Amino acid sequence: MIKPEKPVNEAVRLAALYRYRILDSEKEKSFEDLVTIAKAVCGASMAAVTLIDAERQWFKSIQGTEAQELPRSESMCGHAILQPEQVMVVEDAQRDVRFHDNPIVTGDPKVRFYAGAPLVSTEGLPLGTLCVFDPQPQRLDAQQTEALAALSRQVMLVMELRRFALDIQTHMVERDDYERLLGEYHDVLLAQNADLAEQSRTDVLTGLPNRRAMAVALDASVLDADGQPRQTAVALVDIDHFKQINDFNGHATGDRVLAELGVLLRAQFSGRGLAARYGGEEFVVLMPDTDLRTAELQCDFLRMAVSDLPLGFPVTVSIGVAAHRSGDTVEQTLERADSALYRAKGNGRNRVELAP
């Protein structure tokens, strides 16, 4: 195991860290939200906001494992802060000479994949990281890497606002000034929380709502304002042979296909329903107040429009459609749509199949 070196300006770095008065503080929702988003965006099972103290790595927020702190000598984040201008990615720690015999790799939580975006203060000093990690080897694409870096900047904004609030409480004496500054802080937090709420409901690559947002919309769409059943159709859309697109054209091209399909779905169903990225190359379309045959026609129009996308190579989709039935749960409706999608793929792909 190679222990992380300390930055040449370590004393200045530590002094900056201590000014935030954040070490050993209680959990706070703003940090928890950012860790949740980072974990979802990067597809990792664990994520954390870490701060590098003199001899330890302390977790302001951590999800997926129970650790509260680690010796700095075992810290991957201790290596990440040595290059504060970039995200450090370790696709397989067992193959990295720095970490292959590290206790967090050989023992719990058996880290194989790690990515850490340094938390850089306004003075340019690295204080810790926003990191994601997983017991399986993994890679990040360019969009995920940039998203992790953007979220690390959001962590620093929360830290700055937190320090600002503490400074107000410590130094302000006059009531009018205190209330004015506290109001400004509150407005900034409200704006940031609105932005975080939007990020937690939106797929980074396609700009469509994500699976979490779709689940909420599905629950709301099957009943009217009086709580009575509402006619609603649901479609699952899957890109045919998407693995081959990635294998033969590269992941960047695969991402372009996903993004273009996101634009098409948003254009076709805007105002008449909701389309979301369901996971991987699969999308879900919600069509309220739509009978099954009308939904079939709309999905067939979508299928033909996908075939006409100017991508430079042929792309098709298979679609399964189900009408929500009174008494069924939304999960059961999705399962029926998924069965119809399975038939569409089994019957040759590039087609629409209806659930009975």
CATH of the domain at 90: 3.30.450.40
Least confident of 37-51, 84-98, 264-278: 264-278
Domain containing residue 27: 10-199
User: Is it the case that residue 18 has pLDDT exceeding 90?
Assistant: yes
Q: Are residues 346 and 324 in the same domain?
A: yes
Is residue 205, in this structure, part of any structural domain at all? no
Q: Do 348 and 292 fall into the same domain? A: yes
Mean local confidence (pLDDT), 161-176: 75
Are 187 and 241 within one domain? no
For the entire predicted model, the pTM comes to 0.53
The confidence score (pLDDT) of residue 197 equals 46
What digits encode the pLDDT tens for the residues 123-151?
A: 999 999 999 999 999 999 999 999 999 99
238 assigned to some structural domain: yes
Do 36 and 167 share a structural domain? yes
In a domain, 1, yes or no: no
Residues 35 and 184 occupy one common structural domain: yes
At which of 156, 178, 199 does a domain end?
199
pLDDT tens profile 67-119: 999 999 999 999 999 999 999 999 999 999 999 999 999 999 999 999 999 99
Tens of pLDDT, residues 148-161: 999 999 999 999 99
Domain boundary among 143, 176, 199: 199
Per-residue pLDDT at 274: 84
Per DSSP, the three-state class of 303 is helix
Query: Which residues are bridge partners to 180 per DSSP?
Result: none
Q: Is residue 179 annotated as a catalytic residue, yes or no?
A: no
Compute the half-sphere exposure of residue 219: CA atoms within 13 Å on the CB side of its CA: 5
CB 287 within 8 A of CB 337: no
SS (H, E, C) 49-105: EEEECCCEEEEEEEECCCCCEEEHHHCCHHHHCCCCCCCEEECCHHHCCCCCCCHHH
Residue for token digits 């694409």? 141
Same domain, 219 and 261: yes
Residues 224 and 289 in one domain: yes
pLDDT on residue 193: 56
Share of the chain above pLDDT 90, in %: 67
Catalytic residue among 26, 281, 282, 335: 281
Both structure tokens of 14: 């530590």
Residue 242 belongs to a domain: yes
Lowest-pLDDT choice from 73-87, 214-228, 342-356: 214-228
pLDDT exceeds 70 at position 228: no
Counted domains in the chain: 2
